[in-house]
C-alpha cells in the first residue's frame, strides 16, 4: 500500500466524516471529526469479532504513518503559520507580556506541578515511575494545542480580548513546550551522567531564540518579495515556500520550527505588512489559500487522532491514571496561570473570570499525543500514551463542547477576575 493510497483513504474518510458532522451532528469540525472517528473505530472493533479484515486494514494504515514525524516535522509548521497569519497582531501586541509569561513561566510551572503530582498518584496506583519521566509527561501535556484551540474558540463566543490571550498563548507555548520536552528528554536519555546547566540553557536558548529570529528573518524576506511584485499566484506560492524552506532550515540548524513559523506568520499577517506588500486581490487569495490548508490539515489530523486509539495498551491502572490526570492537569493549569493573571490584571483590562475560562479553554490535542509517541519504552511510553490520549479526548470533546456554555454562564455572574 503506497503513500498516495493511504493519503487518499485519509482524505476520503475526512470528507465523509466531515459531511456527517456538518449534516447531522453540527459540532465544531475538530470535535465532530474526532467523535465520529472514535465511534467508527469502536464499530470496527465490534465488527472484528465476526470479521477482522476492516480492523486489520485500519491497523495497517496507522502502522504506516509515523504520527509524531508527520505532525511535528510537517503538518505543524503549516498549521501554525496559518493560525499566526490570521491572528490579530495589534491585539496580540497589546497583550504581549501576559502572553509571553503564560507561554513560558506558565508552561514551566505547569510541567513541574503536573509531573510532581502524577509521580505520587502513580506510586499510589502501584506504578513505580522515575520522577524525570513524570516531568516528561508534565512537559508534553502542559502546552495548550493551537490547532484545537483556534478551531473551537471561533464558535465558543469567547470575548475577543480573552481569545487573543488564549490563542497567543497557545501559538507560543506549543513551541516552548516542545523545547522543554526535548530538553528533559535529553536529560532522561543521559541517565546518571552529569548534565551541565550551561548545556541545558544553550539548547533552550538555541531552540527558542534561534527559532524566533529565523522566523522574523523569513517574515522580512517574504515581505520584501511580496512588496516587489504584484502577482497573486506567485505571491501565494512565496508564502508556501516560506513555510517549507523555513521548516527545512530550522530542522537542519536544530532551531524550533514551530516558533519560527509563528514568528513568520505574525510578521506576514501584520496589518502594516499587508497594506504595504499585498494588493486587495493578493490578500484575499493568500488568506483563502491558508484557510484551506488549515481546514484540510486539521481535518486529517483529528481523524488520525481518533484512529490512534488502535495503538494504545489497555490496562486498568493506565486508564485509572488517565482519568485521575484530568482534574490534576486542570488544577495545575489554573494554579500556573494565577500569579501572572493577578500581576497583569491591574495593568491590562482583563475579562472577568479570565483564569477559569483560560483553564477550561486551554485544550490539549495532537501535539501532546505526538510527543507521547516519541517516548521510549524505558520511559513508560505505553502508560503515558494512554494517559495522554484520555486527557486529549476529554479536553477536545468535553471542554471543547462546553467552553461556550461556560462563557455564557459566567457573563451572568458578578464580575471577578480569577
For residue 418, is it within any domain? no
Cβ–Cβ under 8 Å, residues 54 and 47: yes
Question: Under DSSP, is residue 391 helix (H, G, I), strand (E, B) or coil?
Answer: helix
Is there a single domain that holds both residue 92 and residue 182? yes
Same domain as 354, residue 338: yes
Co-location of 246 and 298 in the same domain: yes
Q: Are residues 95 and 209 in the same domain?
A: yes
Same domain, 169 and 297: yes
52 CB-near residues (< 8 Å, 6+ apart): none
Q: Could you tell me if 310 and 398 lie in one domain?
A: yes
Give a yes or no: residue 193 inside a domain.
yes
Q: Report how far Cα 158 is from the mean position of its chain's Cα atoms.
A: 19
Q: Is 239 within a domain?
A: yes
Cα end-to-end span (Å), the chain: 53
Q: How many CB atoms lie within 10 A of CB 284?
A: 12
Angle of the 280-307 helix axis to the 76-85 helix axis, nearest 10? 140
- List of residues 6+ apart from 86 with CB closer than 8 A: 269, 287, 290, 291
Question: Can you read off the three cell numbers belonging to residue 12?
Answer: 476520503
Q: Find the CATH number of the domain harbouring 285.
A: 1.20.1530.20
Same domain, 7 and 155: no
Domain that includes residue 337, residue range:
67-411
pLDDT in tens, the chain (418 residues): 578 888 899 999 999 999 999 999 988 888 899 899 999 999 998 998 998 988 998 888 888 888 988 888 889 999 889 989 988 777 788 888 888 899 999 999 999 999 999 999 999 999 999 999 999 999 999 998 876 776 677 666 677 777 788 888 888 888 888 888 988 888 888 765 566 667 777 777 888 899 999 999 999 999 999 999 999 999 999 999 999 999 999 999 989 999 999 999 999 999 888 999 999 999 999 999 998 998 898 889 999 999 988 889 889 999 999 999 999 999 999 999 998 888 887 777 777 888 998 899 889 988 899 899 989 999 999 999 999 999 999 999 999 889 888 888 887 777 654 5
Residue 283 cell numbers, joined:
490578500
Closest CA to 333 of 287, 370, 302, 364: 364
The answer on 111 and 58 residing in a single domain is no
Whether 95 and 43 map to the same domain: the answer is: no
Task: Examine the domain organization and report whether 155 and 287 are in the same domain.
Answer: yes
**Count of domains for the chain:** 2
Query: How many CB atoms neighbour CB 119 within 10 A?
Result: 20
CA distances from 48 to 26, 43, 58, 410 (A): 29, 9, 11, 46
* 238 and 206 housed in the same domain: yes
As a three-state string, the secondary structure of 30-81 is HHHHHHHHHHHHHHHHHHCCCCCHHHHHHHHHHHCCCHHHHHHHHHHHHHHH
| Within-domain flag for 345 | yes
Amino acid at each position: 500500500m503506497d503513500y498516495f493510497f493511504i493519503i487518499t483513504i485519509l482524505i476520503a474518510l475526512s470528507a465523509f466524516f466531515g459531511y456527517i458532522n456538518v449534516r447531522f451532528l453540527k459540532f465544531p469540525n475538530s470535535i465532530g471529526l474526532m467523535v465520529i472517528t472514535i465511534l467508527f473505530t469502536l464499530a470496527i472493533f465490534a465488527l472484528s469479532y465476526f470479521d477482522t479484515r476492516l480492523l486489520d486494514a485500519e491497523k495497517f494504515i496507522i502502522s504506516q504513518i509515523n504520527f509524531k514525524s508527520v505532525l511535528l516535522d510537517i503538518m505543524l509548521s503549516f498549521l501554525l503559520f496559518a493560525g499566526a497569519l490570521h491572528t490579530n497582531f495589534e491585539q496580540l501586541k497589546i497583550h504581549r507580556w501576559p502572553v509571553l509569561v503564560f507561554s513560558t513561566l506558565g508552561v514551566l510551572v505547569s510541567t513541574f506541578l503536573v509531573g510532581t503530582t502524577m509521580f505520587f498518584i502513580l506510586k499510589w496506583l502501584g506504578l513505580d515511575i522515575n520522577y524525570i519521566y513524570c516531568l516528561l509527561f508534565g512537559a508534553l501535556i502542559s502546552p495548550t494545542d493551537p490547532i484545537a484551540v483556534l478551531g473551537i474558540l471561533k464558535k465558543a463566543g469567547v470575548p475577543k480580548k480573552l481569545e487573543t490571550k488564549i490563542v497567543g498563548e497557545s501559538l507560543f507555548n506549543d513551541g516552548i513546550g516542545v523545547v522543554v520536552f526535548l530538553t528533559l528528554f535529553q536529560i532522561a536519555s543521559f541517565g546518571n551522567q552529569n548534565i551541565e546547566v550551561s548545556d541545558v540553557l544553550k539548547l533552550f536558548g538555541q531552540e527558542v531564540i534561534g527559532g524566533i529570529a529565523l522566523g522574523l528573518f523569513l517574515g522580512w524576506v517574504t515581505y520584501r518579495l511580496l512588496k516587489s511584485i504584484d502577482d497573486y499566484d506567485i505571491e501565494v506560492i512565496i508564502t508556501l515556500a516560506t513555510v517549507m524552506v523555513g521548516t527545512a532550515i530550522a530542522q537542519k540548524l536544530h532551531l524550533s520550527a514551530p516558533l519560527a513559523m509563528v514568528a513568520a506568520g505574525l510578521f506576514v499577517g501584520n496589518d502594516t505588512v499587508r497594506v504595504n506588500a499585498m494588493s486587495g486581490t493578493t490578500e484575499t487569495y493568500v488568506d483563502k489559500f491558508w484557510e484551506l490548508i488549515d481546514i484540510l490539515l486539521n481535518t486529517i489530523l483529528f481523524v488520525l487522532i481518533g484512529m490512534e486509539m488502535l495503538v494504545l495498551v489497555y490496562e486498568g491502572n493506565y486508564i485509572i491514571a488517565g482519568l485521575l490526570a484530568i482534574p490534576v492537569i486542570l488544577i495545575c493549569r489554573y494554579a500556573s496561570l494565577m500569579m501572572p493573571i493577578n500581576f497583569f490584571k491591574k495593568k491590562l483590562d482583563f475579562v472577568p473570570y479570565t483564569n477559569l475560562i483560560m483553564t477550561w479553554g486551554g485544550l490539549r490535542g495532537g501535539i501532546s499525543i505526538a510527543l507521547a509517541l516519541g517516548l521510549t519504552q524505558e520511559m513508560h511510553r505505553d502508560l503515558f500514551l494512554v494517559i495522554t490520549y484520555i486527557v486529549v479526548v476529554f479536553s477536545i470533546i468535553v471542554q471543547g463542547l462546553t467552553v461556550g456554555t461556560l462563557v455564557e454562564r459566567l457573563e451572568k455572574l458578578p464580575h471577578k477576575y480569577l
